[in-house]
Structure 1
Amino acid sequence: MNAPADAAPVGTARPAWARVKRALALLLFLVVAVIIVRYARGVKWDQVWASITGLPWQVLLACSALTAASFTLYSSFDLLGRHYTGHKLPTRRVMKINFISYAFNLNVGAFVGAVAFRFRLYSRLGLNNATITRIMSLSLLTNWLGYLVLAGATLAIAPLPLPPDWGLDSFELRWLGVALLAVALLYIGMCLWSPRRSFDIRGHELLLPPRRMVPLQLAMSCANWMLMGAIIWLLLGRQVAYPSVLSVLLVAAIAGVITHVPAGLGVLEGVFVALLSHRVSEWELIGAILTYRALYYIAPLLLAVVLYLWVEARAPARIRP
């Protein structure tokens, strides 16, 4: 389809905000890269390995159990989407697709994991694009609703003690927390009290979920983020208060989204080193995060690959591409 005659050229019609976001993403990526290089040069890698191998088996077992609980919980997000859209796919299939997409999302990015895998697997089970989009959108909203509430609450109530050279005080962090909570409350308020249930956003229809679903969204998402924080807290040997570890994880999560680095590779480590190296030794921090990656990223990805290949092999010939 041709553009209207009076339409602005594509190259000049780019919104200013898109350029600002790209500039901020590039800036944050460079800052994280500098942090990683700076600390990597002085890291005692033999001590990092010693900190990993020195973790008690009881801690690794507990962290593995928390990882399984987190993935089981997150794999239930699409069950909310089933209720939201009214499709009739079995619970086991929905959770399997959600698990596969989440594992790939963590490791290779949202476009491949959250989007491509959901569309391929759900469409082969008979769901149309509009239904899949609504499922995916609700899962995304559920995940970030808990993030906004937890990040807002931790910053507003108990701001993370930052290194002295950062130049940010607790007053500024509290206001940031209040702003995050305000966004979450806006969404909750719209879901609970808005008489209008449908909104058009850039040509895509957004339907607000049923009012009774919102508390479940909030509880499931908050619990999942807290499980992830608990894993790192245990791997750090409880040397840092749990709320502080959770706060750093939440900062690292948004930094990974902004920089668009697959699996947040280097971003997670860089943020933890930057924010906690004045309280925990660098090699213990890096050892804990590398172990966290092995438990929460690599192991589920290997299982997701096996599950995906199994699903592909069992797909009926008539719906194979």
Structure 2
Amino acid sequence: MSAVAAAEPAPRRPALRARPWWPWLRKGFWLAFFALLGYLLVSQARTIAWDEVAQTLRELPLPVLLAAGGLAFASHLLYSTFDLLGRRAVGHRLPAPKVMLVTFISYAFNLNMGALVGGVASRYRLYGRLGLDEMQVTRVMAVSMVTNWLGYLLLGGLAFALFPLALPAEWDISDAVLQIAGSLLAAVALGYVAACAFSRKRSLSLRGHTFTLPSGRTALLQLAMSCLNWSLIAGTIFVLLQGQVDYVTVLTVLLLAAVAGVVTHVPAGLGVLEAVFVALLGTQLAPAQLIGTLLAYRALYYLAPLALAVLCFLFLEIRHKAPSRNA
């Protein structure tokens, strides 16, 4: 039985005739991907007020900056192990360091460019180069997605239900609604773990694929890994704020920011994260201080890993092409 939720591949279809235009189309797609990657890197760098980031970083004590950087590093390192659960479910034999490197690159791309362009496309390309087929990659991604959002459901549910914040009036969301939503989120997370531990029916067939529940122990591991990762992300911001806002509030605001784009309009010129923090904490701290701190957080958690991920991605691309040139 599979150790984590996974889907068994459907029978393979007969191979289609070779299409001479397909290699050119594929190369064109990845050339466009690299062009988009470069454009996004440059455009994102231009949108950041680097003078504010520099000023904020200069004002941050070195121990605070090192501690925040350490928490950000720990979060990325932890997330890079999520695909190891998928490796166990799929049963492929790629070495753990290679799996973690692919996951790190994909996570950094996902944070900065979105799931479709970043996390999905890069995973298919990198894992494909390592010998996995599309179905295997899809199953690995599914496991990581379940792991990531399982912790969000529990932490967000508990935070919204037990520590509701005073929301802006224009959001049109009452405390009762937020508490009910929080209770439902937590119930879904706990229900998943309970189903994995006690359900007699271990698989579900959907559109030709069989989804197998993991063991209860594995589900608890998924939950623990995800909760810890979200806690490390919130800890990074908390440390940069130097204790001016309590940790539970920072965590709750961060989790609200993850869904804020669905329930409210974001002011022009601000990212979702910055807008939510300013809206909810602007009475406790000066908006300029909040934005400067969050820009520093983005530099540590988003841009620094992205720069490293781009270098790793290019290194893997060059190394992959080298043998074919020497053949």
Q: Is 1:82 matched with 2:91?
A: no
Q: Equivalences for 1:210-221 in 2 at 5 Å?
A: 210-221=215-226
Could you say what secondary structure the match of 1:196 adopts? coil
2:164 to 159, 170, 175: 159
Q: 1:126 aligns with which of 107, 127, 131?
A: 131
| Aligned partner letter, 2:66 | L
Please give the alpha-carbon distance, in whole angstroms, between the structure 2 residues aligned to 1:205 and 1:318: 38
SS at match of 2:93: coil
Amino acid aligned to 1:274: A
Partner amino acid for 2:138?
Answer: T
Pairing partner for 1:268 from 252, 268, 273: 273
Question: How many Å apart are 1:48 and its aligned residue?
Answer: 7.8
Deviating more after overlay: 219-228 vs 125-134? 125-134
> Cα offset for 1:153?
0.7
Q: Which deviates the most, 308-317 or 132-141? A: 308-317
Offset, 1:318: 5.3
CA contact (8 A) 1:66 1:227 kept: yes
Distance 2:288 2:152 in 1: 28
**CA positional deviation for 1:168:** 4.4
The answer to whether the 8 Å contact 2:194/2:216 transfers is no
CA distance, structure 1, for counterparts of residue 214 and residue 244 of structure 2: 41
Deviations 1:183-236 (A, max 9, x none): 212222222222333334456543322332111101110000000001111111
2-side partners of 1:73 and 1:119: how far apart?
21
TM-score, normalised to structure 1, is 0.78
CA–CA separation in structure 2 for the residues paired with 1:86 and 1:279: 50
Offset at residue 292 of structure 1 (A) = 0.6
- Superposed CA deviations along residues 42-65 of structure 1, whole A, max 9, x for unmatched, are xxx988864443111111111111
Pairs within 5 Å for 1:237-256: 237-255=242-260
Aligned to 1:59: 64
Aligned match of 2:143: 138
CA distance in structure 1 between the partners assigned to 2:188 and 2:123 by the alignment? 27
Structure-1 separation of matches of 2:90 and 2:84: 10
Does the 8 A contact of 1:102 with 1:114 survive in 2? yes
Q: Of residues 148, 153, 159 in structure 2, which corresponds to 1:148?
A: 153
Q: Equivalent residue of 2:258, what SS?
A: helix
Q: What percentage of residue pairs aligned between the two structures are identical?
A: 54
Summarize the Cα distance change of 1:102–1:257 in structure 2 as closer, same or farther, 3 Å threshold.
farther
Matching of residues 9-28 of structure 1 within 5 Å? none
Q: Which amino acid aligns with 1:107?
A: N
- Once the two structures are overlaid, the 10-residue window that deviates more, 170-179 or 49-58, is 49-58
* Distance in 2 of aligned mates of 1:257 and 1:315: 40
Q: 1:236 to 1:71 in 2, by over 3 A?
A: same
**CA offsets per residue over residues 268-306 of structure 1, 9 Å max, x none?**
111111111011110111011100100000000000000
The equivalent position to 2:96 in structure 1, one of 59, 77, 91, is 91
Q: Relative to structure 1, is the Cα distance of residues 208 and 265 closer, same or farther in structure 2, using a 3 angstrom cutoff?
A: farther
Letter in 1 for 2:180: W
In 2, the alpha carbon distance for the partners of 1:209 and 1:198 equals 9
State the secondary structure of the residue aligned to 1:315: helix
By how many angstroms is 1:180 displaced? 0.7
SS at match of 1:199: strand
**Counterpart-to-counterpart distance in 2, 1:278 and 1:64:** 27
Do residues 179 (structure 1) and 184 (structure 2) align?
yes
The answer to whether structure 1 residue 305 and structure 2 residue 310 are counterparts is: yes
Instruction: Decide whether aligned partners of structure 1 residues 313 and 146 sit closer, same or farther in structure 2, where only a CA change above 3 A counts.
Output: same
Deviations 1:38-89 (A, max 9, x none): xxxxxxx988864443111111111111111000000000111111111111
Residue of structure 1 in register with 2:298 after alignment: 293
Secondary structure (helix, strand or coil) at the match of 1:309 reads helix
Contact 1:49/1:287 (8 A) holds in 2: no
Contact 2:53 2:292 in 1 (8 A): yes
1:208 partner amino acid: L
Instruction: Please provide the CA RMSD for this pair.
Output: 2.7
Q: 1:198 aligns with which of 200, 203, 215?
A: 203
Are 2:171 and 2:263, in contact at CA under 8 Å, matched by a contact in 1?
no
* TM-score for the superposition, normalised by structure 2: 0.76
- Following the alignment from structure 1 to structure 2, what is the Cα–Cα distance between the partners of residues 311 and 228? 28
Contact in 2 for aligned 1:73/1:224 (Cα 8 Å): yes
Mapped partners of 1:302, 1:50: distance in 2:
21
Farther-moved stretch of structure 1 (49-58 vs 131-140): 49-58
Tell me the amino acid that sits aligned with residue 286 of structure 2: S
Task: State the number of aligned residues.
Answer: 273
Say if 1:130 and 1:166 are closer, same or farther in 2 by CA, change over 3 A.
closer
